[in-house]
A and B are shown apart, each in its own frame.
Chain A
């Protein structure tokens, strides 16, 4: 009997021949990617709407004028400083998250716990900064449906829409950060109680990590289109 196998009878083992994920990622991780893609569409719809309105108005509030305070320290004269601190905090917490994932690959439970705690602290600090900024802007007269009487531009609808969109978009982003912090706390408790050690893989840390980095990614765009442009 010949040992030669005809081309048709050979067992194919390439990525798309079935029996395994062609993407070589675990189901939950792939679903996290799909969710993040849909969330990216939601956030882009918000930001693109902001752009379309801004393009259509004669005047628009100047971010350097609106955002020039450091709550608790200075009322005006420091454009971008406070939001710079917030951006730094969020990028930093993204780094600690990726370090937690890296520690998870080495199955080092203790390091995962500490990096996760650092990430949670970063997220909480960001939320605290956002609360300070919101309350400061609220005192100045910005809120959903209102803007300060001192606004000098000619287009009042533009100022109103700026105000509405600022609170809606940063609020939606802040809600994501808040959810991320809650999920991070749950996962940290699971790490502490040894769930993933028994499971033999810290893949769940990677999945929440994806979500956390996405929140950072959205902030990069919010920062550019609200505070810089």
Chain B
């Protein structure tokens, strides 16, 4: 059992290391740089010229931000290569944040309509 255990842990550790190579790290960096460049393109060109509205602009910003967040957490923080239980344990907890966003923004809209 003991020998098997050590072997198992070594195997897992090895598998973890396969996740990030230097090449992969720079690839993720350029993805994130590209996404930031798109955000700047929207902020400095598309919005001022009126090609897209602010509503659509903000929606795209949020989507792009979530993509960037995914790359940081999955690759830089290595969560993608962790065990399923750890991944879900961390990610499912974030449902409280989603709930709080819905709750507070609804409240904000209500105040906008009735308190101003």
Contacts and interface: CB of A to CB of B under 8 A. Distances in A.
6 contacts: A44-B97, A49-B104, A51-B101, A102-B25, A221-B65, A228-B61
A22 B105 contact: no
A176 interface: no
B5 A20 contact: yes
Nearest to B8: A13
Given A44-B100, A51-B105, A228-B61, A23 B86 contact: yes
A20 B17 CA distance: 20
Contacts of B83: 15, 22-25
A221 B69 contact: yes
Nearest to B60: A228
B33 A91 contact: yes
Interface stretch (A125-133, A165-173, A182-190, A212-220): A212-220
A53 B105 CA distance: 8
Contacts of B29: 91-92, 95
B52 interface: no
Given A37-B93, A228-B43, A51 B65 contact: no
Given A22-B85, A87-B36, A95 B25 contact: yes
Contacts, number: 143
Contacts of B40: 80, 84
A79 B45 CA distance: 12
Contacts of B100: 44-45, 48
A23 B68 contact: no
A79 B44 CA distance: 8
B20 A23 contact: no
Interface in A36-89: 37, 40-41, 44-45, 48-49, 51-58, 64, 79-80, 84, 87-88
A153 to B, nearest CB: 13
A1 interface: no
Given A102-B21, A213-B76, A52 B96 contact: no
Given A20-B8, A45-B100, 13 more contacts: A23-B86, A24-B83, A25-B83, A44-B97, A44-B100, A44-B101, A55-B111, A56-B108, A56-B111, A58-B116, A88-B33, A217-B77, A228-B39
Contacts of B56: none
A43 B32 CA distance: 22
Nearest to B26: A95
B22 A216 contact: no
